């Protein structure tokens, strides 16, 4: 179990255990405007590569949204909905997590992503 203490304005990368093919996986932990954390799989919906492309730069300086450095896609923090770029209308996959009594985010390193459906978020 990984324990993270995110703050507003953070985008924290968390290493997970490899997938079934042995490929590395990472989670991105963010805190949305409502103060609640969100956990997404660090994988662009256009082409399945890390959003940060290995740079650890995850937030767009201008919009504050999650940013794919390869494709320029922008994803809202609150629901992972892509508002710009080649995968507009797609939603980042989430990872299950829980928040303990002290506000820390707990993520199981073997957690499987929950694939979002486009109608789960609104434009």
**10-30 residue pLDDT tens:** 899 999 999 889 989 999 999
The C-alpha atoms of residue 99 and residue 57 are separated, in whole angstroms, by 25
Q: How confident is the model at residue 122 (pLDDT cuts 50, 70, 90)?
A: low
The confidence score (pLDDT) of residue 9 equals 85
Number of domains the chain is built from: 1
Question: What residues make up the domain containing 108?
Answer: 1-123
Looking at residue 56, what is its pLDDT? 86
Residue (of 47, 39, 109, 111) closest to 79 by Cα position: 39
pLDDT at 54: 83
The residues near 98 (Cβ < 8 Å, ≥ 6 apart) are 105, 106
Predicted confidence at residue 117, as pLDDT, reads 64
Mean pLDDT of 66-95: 95
- Rounded to an integer, the average pLDDT of 94-116 is 92
Q: What local confidence, expressed as pLDDT, does residue 118 receive?
A: 58
Half-sphere exposure of 109 (CA within 13 A, CB side): 9
48 pLDDT tier (thresholds 50, 70, 90): confident
Per-residue confidence (pLDDT) for residue 123, from 0 to 100: 58
Tell me, what CATH number does 56's domain have? 2.102.10.10
């Amino acid at each position: 179990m990984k324990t993270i203490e995110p703050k507003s304005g953070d985008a924290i990368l968390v290493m997970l255990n490899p997938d079934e093919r042995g490929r590395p996986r990472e989670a991105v932990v963010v805190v949305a405007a409502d103060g609640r954390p969100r956990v997404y799989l660090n994988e662009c919906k256009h082409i399945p590569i890390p959003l940060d492309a290995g740079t650890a730069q995850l937030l767009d300086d201008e919009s504050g949204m999650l940013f794919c450095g390869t494709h320029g896609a922008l994803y809202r923090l609150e629901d992972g909905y892509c508002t710009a770029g080649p995968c507009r209308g797609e939603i980042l996959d989430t990872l299950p997590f829980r928040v303990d009594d002290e506000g820390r985010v707990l993520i199981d390193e073997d957690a499987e992503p929950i694939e979002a459906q486009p109608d789960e978020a609104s434009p």
